[in-house]
Amino acid sequence: MAAEIESHQHSLARELECVSGVPIFQQLAHNQMISVAEVTRAIHAQKGQIVFRPDAVSQTLYIVNTGQVRLYHLADDGKERVLRVLNPGDFIGEIALFTDEIHSDYAEATQTTELCTISRTDLTQLVRRLPTLALALLNALAQRLKTAEHQATLLAIPDALPRLAGYLLDLSQSQATTVTLPMSKQDLAAYLGMTPESLSRKLKQLVTLGAITTHGRREITIVTLAKLQAVAPQ
């Protein structure tokens, strides 16, 4: 069993640093951001530790300050399906504002991670007092829904090669540029509904086609945008 994540003594400076890096708080005035920091608490998770698991009641907003957290679901056959990877500034759990939702997924730290947390009670009070925050949360939820719908569209493509090409086009914003994968290749494979071995083969195919080059574990250069677009779903 994974060890419990650690809570840390409240430090206004640490919490202010955390919330100031989150897009939904960046439109707030400084005194409003301090109000958010005052109700924020830091927790630490080591690599492999579970932040939350299925069947737990969602009553907390989790914000990644440092490190990384992956959100995944276990299919009936026991295989993991990666839903999202959270990097510094990303958050999860905003559904706690609206309902006593039961988590259906796992959130696991992929490296030593510090998260800032806000309870449902405190988050509700903040939203009532700060209309700017309420609008930012609605916008974030709309963007999350758009991303989830796009992932579902990619996963519906039977061929793994256009699925991968479409993902790389999204990541590069359809520009001939160098991008850094926001997650490990193993997690990316699970995110795209393929095995790590299949992902490796498809990357090599794109290299052979002259569409991309790879550098190290996570860097990919879009060499010929037109070739990548030709493979991607239309």
The full set of domains in the chain, from first to last, is: 1-146 (2.60.120.10), 158-231 (1.10.10.10)
Chain mean pLDDT for the chain: 88
Q: In the predicted model, what is the mean pLDDT of residues 150-162? A: 88
pLDDT in tens, 53-72: 988 887 889 999 899 999 99
Residue 166: pLDDT band with limits 50, 70, 90: very high
233 vs 71: which has the higher pLDDT: 71
94 backbone dihedrals φ, ψ, rounded to 5°? -65, -15
pLDDT attached to residue 228: 94
162 vs 97: which has the higher pLDDT: 162
Using a 10 angstrom Cβ sphere, with 0-12 exposed, 13-18 middle and 19 or more buried, the burial of residue 130 is: buried
**209 within 8 A of 227, measured Cβ to Cβ:** yes
* pLDDT of residue 185 exceeding 90: yes
Of the chain, the percentage scoring pLDDT greater than 70 comes to 94
* pLDDT of residue 125 exceeding 80: yes
Task: Dihedral sign for Cα 12, 71, 96, 5, please.
Answer: negative
2 vs 123: which has the higher pLDDT: 123
Q: How far apart are CA 77 and CA 85, in angstroms?
A: 22
Q: In the predicted model, what is the mean pLDDT of residues 141-149? A: 83
pLDDT attached to residue 1: 37
* pLDDT of residue 7 exceeding 60: no
